Structure 1
């Protein structure tokens, strides 16, 4: 059997192609393992994130309920403030002027009595200097 130079070149080319296919297969195998690990990691993340999102949704719902209650309280406080202001205005309008007159009268009476008590005599009939 004669082996020619072309047969040797063909054999080298076939071995190089076989080596290339082997290396490419190992690279594809490693890439497959990486994809499997990525799939497992994504599945684990999904399993952990879903309960967290459900809890977050519940928390947001409860927060919205509390904000609605606070809004109701704020509305009630505003109504109470308006009623108190109206009541104060009513009190000032109905009792303010008479109370001021009574206070002025009592002050005048106290001043007159205090003045007569200091001097010890009645000031009736005396003329003021001035």
Structure 2
């Protein structure tokens, strides 16, 4: 054998080792790709039903939120109505009740019966309530409260 034949034989052996190495790498790569494909298929089989269930859950939550929005709107309407009713009641009964209470206070003061914790009304020598007490009762009763009438029955 000559030097060229030995060199050709060495190159052929290295070439055969390289080809066999590449063949092993390609076989392992093919196995890895096959396993990855199976894994993706398995994940897909499990993920599709989960996505369907998640979609159903989101739709159910959306329906519940629509119901809550309706309830919230109704509660706001009831609150507004209750506020308007409270304002109407306060306007209708509040003023007259304050006036009646002030009138009662004024009458009580004029009659000489003190409110709890008050000193008795000042009376003049004949046992009548003094004019300052009557004027105070008139002030306490407001415009339409107790007023002393002069000369009228």
> Normalising by structure 1, what TM-score?
0.80
Structure-2 separation of matches of 1:9 and 1:109: 137
Give CA deviations for 1:5-26 in whole Å, capped at 9, x if unaligned. 2222212211211111111100
* Structure 2 residue aligned with 1:96: 94
Structure-1 separation of matches of 2:40 and 2:129: 108
* Structure 2 unmatched ranges of 5 or more: 115-119, 133-153
**In the alignment, which of 31, 54, 64 is matched to residue 66 of structure 1?**
64
**In the alignment, which of 16, 19, 23 is matched to residue 18 of structure 1?**
16
Structure-2 separation of matches of 1:54 and 1:113: 85
* Structure 2 residue aligned with 1:126: 128
Q: Return the structure number with greater relative CO, CA threshold 8 A, min gap 6.
A: 2
Q: Which consecutive aligned stretches of 4+ in structure 1 deviate over 6 angstroms post-superposition?
A: none
Structure-1 separation of matches of 2:2 and 2:94: 130
Normalized per residue, the structure richer in helix is 1
* Structure 1 unmatched ranges of 5 or more: none
Shift of 1:94: 2.0
